[in-house]
Amino acid sequence: MNIYKLKICMVGEPGVGKTSLIKRYVYGVFSEIISKRWEPTYTKKR
């Protein structure tokens, strides 16, 4: 079986839910609290 390492870059308008989507997928959590604006988010999921 081949194992692929992918890097995904999420870009979009401010406040559309990019960080929320990433945190939901990687950590399984969703927060209504607005994250700090313009803060890049780097996460890793195996």
Ligand X SMILES: Nc1nc2c(ncn2[C@@H]2O[C@H](COP(=O)(O)OP(=O)(O)OP(=O)(O)O)[C@@H](O)[C@H]2O)c(=O)[nH]1
DSSP 8-class letter at 14: T
DSSP 8-class letter at 15: T
Amino acid identity of residue 21, one-letter, is: L
Q: How far is the CB of 46 from ligand X (least distance, A)?
A: 22
Q: Can you tell me which of 37, 44, 45, 46 binds ligand X, judged by CB under 6 A? A: 37
Q: Long-range contacts made by residues 31-40, C-beta under 8 angstroms, separation at least 24? A: 38/14
Q: Between 3 and 34, name the residue whose CB sits nearer to ligand X.
A: 34
Binding site for Mg ion (CB under 5 A): 19
Binding site for ligand X (CB under 6 A): 12, 14-20, 31-32, 34-35, 37
